[in-house]
Amino acid sequence: MPKRGVLRVATCQFPVGGDLRRNGRMVRAQMTEARRKRADLAHFSECALSGYPGVDLPSLKGFDWAGLEKETRAISALAGRLGLWVVLGSSHRLSGGHRPHNSLYLIDPRGRILDRYDKRFCTGSDLKHYSPGDHFVTFTANGVRCGLLICYDLRFPELYREYQKLGVQLTLHSFHNAHGKKRGIWADIMVPTLKGHAGINYLWVSANNSSAYYQQWPSVLIRPDGVIAARLVQHCGGVTVNTVDTRRKLYDASKAWRDRAMRGVLHSGRLVRDPRSRNRTTL
């Protein structure tokens, strides 16, 4: 029996492209590899199955939605056979002429879709293809409370803070900062920002990325103290399986005052009543 509060997480990356059947084969192969490495959960990148419109494919016009459903069902069935949690990046079709959602499907070890996270903060280019989402998704696996985010959500620390309030211990954050022509600013800012979110909120973070060239940064697992615990090889497909042990005590500089700060008490210790404190224009 797995220990409560301990989760073996497979952070997966492969070169996502516009061929959803190829993407599906890659997802299933990495699921199988993850389970062989004793993972409890396999985490895939943004639009890992559907491909990312505007990058991997020109748009979603004429997209093969029936084929996407077939591939998703095959992945769900394999999750059930393997007894594996799967967080799958894809696109979710809407009705009434609305643009689809950029989504993460949450598939449980019985092969059921339990929930779906829809990217809340879409970039300007995203909004040409997608409709934004409006909800958080949390779930518990092996006693570890998990939450889901997608790419540009990174730029809004309110989302990480809310997950901390919801008791989340592990954020599964899927990205697509790849398939570009050259190195860009994402290579410098993404992982440091993730490390900051992890350390400030005391959360484990699995952050993955398509490995299609040019991959701006390789997939990582970050500890709650902000230290990178594992990193995949840039531009190469791979699966890194690591133990998220929420019982482990790591450095947490904000612990003493974080709860107060989240309640709006924005100082440590006790304030003093002193005229020399109130007067800020004299020596």
Q: Per-10-residue mean pLDDT for the chain, 283 residues long? A: 90 98 98 98 98 97 98 98 98 97 99 98 98 98 98 98 98 97 96 98 98 98 98 98 98 97 96 96 95
| Bridge partners, residue 141, by sequence | 144
Is this model's pTM higher than 0.95 or not? yes
Residue 124 per-residue DSSP state:
T
Q: What is the pLDDT of residue 3?
A: 84
Ranges assigned E (strand) in 108-158: 113-118, 138-141, 144-150
Q: Which domains does the chain have, with CATH numbers?
A: 6-251 (3.60.110.10)
Q: What is the pLDDT of residue 171?
A: 98
What whole-number distance in Å separates Cα of residue 221 and Cα of residue 209?
A: 12
Q: What is the pLDDT of residue 204?
A: 98
Question: Tokens at residue 8, please?
Answer: 């073996």
Q: What is the pLDDT of residue 1?
A: 63
DSSP H or E run through 193:
helix 186-201
Q: What is the pLDDT of residue 37?
A: 98
Q: What is the pLDDT of residue 246?
A: 98
6: three-class secondary structure by DSSP: strand
Q: Would the CA dihedral through 51, 54, 57, 60 be positive or negative?
A: positive
128: three-class secondary structure by DSSP: helix
Residue 57 per-residue DSSP state:
B
Cis (ω within 30 of 0) for the bond into 251? no
Number of helices and strands in the chain (H, E): 6, 12
- Written as one letter, the residue type at 270 is R
> Which residue intervals of 147-185 are DSSP H helices?
157-165
